[in-house]
């Protein structure tokens, strides 16, 4: 695949998060929907941009100092893929989420239900920076940019592309609310209802599908 294709793939994989989409819906339905939604999007963008900038620095350092950086990237993709497949298979056997995962999700949602714009920004920045999966995907995307030996404009373009695509599940609903106002409530309500009903299935197949794709990618890179 080309560098652009890799960046798009990793960005879409990072964006695919039912937790983030659910959190966005909760903020949109808060007491100050427009202000909180804009703050949430701003924080999410900032968190993603910081993580991507760090990824670029680490990726460039790996290119400059490690002769086997491509192998390391392939192994990272392979290990993340295996971890996701294992998680997906475990969820298929036991659809009830582990207590730690449920507690983390409940904690985030509880903070967002009556959130003020400042708090929405800080929570979103944490989500945008990401947990282990999102961070590894960001690192892989930025490493692809670093090793492509692009000029400044080309590298920045792909950096912006990654940030834009990786934040799409927040930016699109927020844009709908900002532009549509109260008329967007029905659309958001239907989408949230569907997600609540199908969250477990969506999470399962996203996890398995992404895991398989990363394993294939890692194996191809190692061959």
The yes-or-no verdict on residue 137 having pLDDT over 70 is: yes
pLDDT (0 to 100) of residue 100? 53
Reported as a single tens digit per residue, the pLDDT across 61-119 is: 776 666 667 788 888 899 999 999 998 888 777 655 555 555 566 666 766 777 788 88
**Which of 160 and 19 is assigned the larger pLDDT?**
160
Nearest to 52 by CA among 176, 154, 143, 169: 143
DSSP string, 118-166: HHHHHHHHHHHH--HHHHHHHHHHHHHHHHTT--HHHHHHHHHHHHHHH
Average pLDDT over residues 126-130: 92
The predicted pLDDT at position 105 comes to 64
Structure tokens at 164: 């834009």
Q: Which of 144, 98, 103, 104 is nearest to 127 (CA)?
A: 104
Structure-token pair, residue 62? 């790996």
- As a residue count, the chain comes to 223
What is the per-residue pLDDT for 200? 80
Mean of pLDDT values over 42-55: 96
pLDDT of residue 37 exceeding 80, the answer is yes
Mean pLDDT highest for which of 17-26, 102-111, 189-198? 17-26
Q: In terms of pLDDT, which residue wins out, 148 or 128?
A: 128
Count of domains observed in the chain: 1
Q: Look at 210 and 95; give whichever has higher pLDDT.
A: 210
Which residues 6+ apart lie within 8 Å of 45 measured at CB? 128, 163, 167, 171
CB atoms within 10 A of CB 167: 23
Tokens of 187: 């659309």
Domain coverage including residue 140 = 3-222
C-beta separation of 138 from 14 below 8 A: yes
pLDDT for residue 108: 66
Task: Note the pLDDT of residue 64.
Answer: 67
The pLDDT of residue 115 is 74
Residue 30 confidence class, pLDDT cut points 50, 70, 90 = confident
pLDDT recorded at residue 185: 63
pLDDT at residue 157 greater than cutoff 90: yes
Buried b or exposed e, range 80-113, using 16+ CB within 10 angstroms: bbebbbebbeebeeeeeeeeeeeeebeebeeebe
Rounded Cα gap, residues 63 and 54, in angstroms: 14
Q: Do 135 and 51 meet the contact criterion of CB atoms below 8 Å apart?
A: yes
pTM: 0.86
Eight-state DSSP code of residue 187: H
Integer-rounded Cα Rg, in Å, for the chain is 18
Most confidently predicted of 7-16, 26-35, 105-114, 140-149: 7-16
At how many degrees (to 10) do helices 33-65 and 168-180 cross? 150
Which stretches of 54-100 are assigned E, i.e. beta strand? none
């Amino acid at each position: 695949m080309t560098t652009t294709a890799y960046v798009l793939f990793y960005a879409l994989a990072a964006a695919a998060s039912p937790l983030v989409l659910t959190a966005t819906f909760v903020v949109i339905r808060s007491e100050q929907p427009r202000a909180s939604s804009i703050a949430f999007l701003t924080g999410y963008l900032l968190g993603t941009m910081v993580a991507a900038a760090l990824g670029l620095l680490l990726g460039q350092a790996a290119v400059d100092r490690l002769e086997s950086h491509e192998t390391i990237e392939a192994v990272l993709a392979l290990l993340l893929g295996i971890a996701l497949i294992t998680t997906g298979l475990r969820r298929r056997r036991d659809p009830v989420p582990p207590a730690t995962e449920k507690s983390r999700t409940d904690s985030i949602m509880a903070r967002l239900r009556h959130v003020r714009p400042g708090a929405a920004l800080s929570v979103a920045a944490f989500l945008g920076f990401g947990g282990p999966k999102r961070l590894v995907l960001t690192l892989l995307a930025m490493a692809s940019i670093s090793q492509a030996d692009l000029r400044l404009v080309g590298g920045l373009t792909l950096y912006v592309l990654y940030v834009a695509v990786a934040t799409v599940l927040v930016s699109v609903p927020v844009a709908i609310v900002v532009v549509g106002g109260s008329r967007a409530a029905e659309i958001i309500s239907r989408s949230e209802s569907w997600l609540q009903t199908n969250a477990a299935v969506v999470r399962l197949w996203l996890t398995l599908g992404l895991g398989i794709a990363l394993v294939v990618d890692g194996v191809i890179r190692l061959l």
